[in-house]
């Protein structure tokens, strides 16, 4: 993550929350979580988001939306604690604010997981009213100005975590995607090499997925 001290502390906090929501005395009548199993799944989703970001560039790290929702004053964790008579929420929310209060909240950013190891294979962001797409991935950072129609298509693909749809819009938005495998792979699982033209100038980047399928990754 951007701050190497943030990850372990945030993971420890979430593990405490997971233990909390599974207490036998929990009352879910006022919470949007139906029961302890659903609550644990929600915390697991937040844990997965933090754990999969361990190789995310510092400038790309932002608080995942599920974390803000988890610690919201009127969120399901707050409701559960209040209904159950627990006084843990304020302390937990304060710790979360101390850890993540200065970390950027991104309007809309989605990570695409690797099909093999579940780490981030690519990270996409749309900004400026969907007129800019920014992508972090195995070939570095790409920033592209797009028109509103393309931006809307990118956002829709991100909402569905659909790397194939991103690839169809622009293959450089989804360097992780192998159309032959219908799978995404992170930088650890693609073989990549630079291609140069006859004058020795850099032309493109090509890659080979773990199944041996080759394609151009970046032009």
Predicted confidence at residue 93, as pLDDT, reads 87
What is the C-alpha separation between 80 and 20, in angstroms, rounded? 10
Q: Which of 141, 211, 128, 208 is nearest to 172 (CA)?
A: 141
- List the structure tokens of 83: 């209904």
Max Cα–Cα distance, the chain, nearest Å = 73
Predicted confidence at residue 3, as pLDDT, reads 41
Torsion, Cα of 160, 164, 169, 172 (10° steps) = 110
Predicted confidence at residue 42, as pLDDT, reads 87
C-beta of residue 178 within 8 angstroms of C-beta of residue 211: yes
Predicted confidence at residue 194, as pLDDT, reads 93
* Contacts of 148 by beta carbon, 8 Å cutoff, 6+ apart: 129, 130, 131
As averages over each run of 10 residues, the pLDDT of the chain (219 residues) reads: 56 92 91 90 81 53 67 84 92 85 63 86 81 85 90 88 94 95 94 93 94 94
């Amino acid at each position: 993550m951007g701050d190497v001290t943030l990850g372990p502390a945030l993971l420890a906090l979430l593990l405490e929350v997971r233990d909390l929501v599974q207490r036998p005395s929990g009352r879910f009548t006022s919470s949007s979580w139906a029961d302890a199993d659903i609550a644990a799944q929600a915390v697991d989703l937040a844990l997965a988001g933090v754990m999969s970001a361990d190789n995310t560039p510092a400038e790309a790290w932002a608080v995942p939306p599920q974390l803000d929702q988890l610690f919201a004053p009127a969120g399901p964790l707050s409701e559960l604690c209040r209904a159950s008579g627990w006084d843990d929420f304020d302390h937990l929310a304060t710790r979360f604010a101390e850890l993540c209060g200065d970390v950027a909240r991104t309007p809309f950013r989605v990570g695409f997981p690797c099909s093999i190891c579940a780490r981030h294979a690519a990270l996409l962001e749309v900004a400026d009213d969907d007129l800019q797409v920014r992508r972090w991935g195995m070939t570095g950072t790409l920033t592209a100005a797009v028109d509103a129609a393309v931006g809307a298509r990118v956002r829709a693909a991100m909402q569905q975590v659909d790397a194939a749809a991103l690839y169809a819009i622009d293959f450089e938005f989804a360097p992780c995607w192998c159309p032959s495998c219908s799978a995404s792979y992170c930088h650890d699982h693609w073989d990549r090499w630079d291609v140069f033209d006859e004058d020795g100038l850099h032309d493109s980047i090509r890659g080979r997925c773990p199944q041996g399928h080759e394609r151009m990754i970046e032009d």
